Amino acid sequence: MKKKNVVLSKKPRWKLLHQYYNYTGFYKFVGGSLKKAILPILLFIGALLAVNEYVININQVLVTVTETFSPIGILLVFLASESILGLVPPELFIAWAGKSASPVLHLSLLALASYLGGIFSYYMGKAITTIPSVHNYLENKMSKHIKNTEKWGGFLIVVGALLPIPFAMTSIAAGIINYKFRYYLLFGLLRFVRFYGYALVIFKIV
């Protein structure tokens, strides 16, 4: 009796990845993060419009800021913010870039500062692992980010770079788990895409 040749159908890689991310809760995590982020962004934009309409001309304020403070000083403040958990919303700085003398140049420098801030956060994460007490404290505080980075790796860094998910926290988590630095640098470049996208869609700069 002849044996029948059984042909096993292999699923495409993208379908396997889709199943994996669906099974591990990646889509649910991203969806939940976006829901949390969209409301503050809409409130921020709404507040800006309301203040601009009824309180003070924000365009004029931004022009005054560009005339009063040096671009280097503002960029350094943003770099510090992006290096320490993104304390100040990037949208404020993107709006500043739009009123500066060289909008595209300053927008590019902001994106670079955010990228460098992420690298600083990555090394902060690596340094944390050498201090047991600090490592244990932050591991408890950031346990969700660390576990998610261990599960989803580069894809989470991509999402953190593009979407309103704290990029600094994702970068710290990547450093803590010793994620491959060259891949981190590669995926982190999408930070530039986010800044240009925001500038184009929201602030009409690019």
Residue 176 lies in a domain: yes
Residue 46 lies in a domain: yes
> What digits encode the pLDDT tens for the residues 120-137?
999 998 888 788 776 676
Residue 174 lies in a domain: yes
Residue 23 lies in a domain: no
**Residue ranges making up the domain that contains 117:** 42-201
Residue 35 lies in a domain: no
> What digits encode the pLDDT tens for the residues 129-171?
788 776 676 667 667 667 767 677 678 788 888 877 778 888 9
Amino acid, single-letter form, for residue 62:
L
Residue 99 lies in a domain: yes
Measured CA to CA, the distance from residue 95 to residue 191 in angstroms comes to 17
> What digits encode the pLDDT tens for the residues 33-52?
666 656 666 676 677 677 76
Whole-prediction pTM: 0.69
Residue 164 lies in a domain: yes
Longest CA–CA span in the chain (Å) reads 90
Q: Which two tokens stand for residue 185?
A: 């640098």
Residue 84 lies in a domain: yes
Q: Per the structure, how many domains does the chain have? A: 1
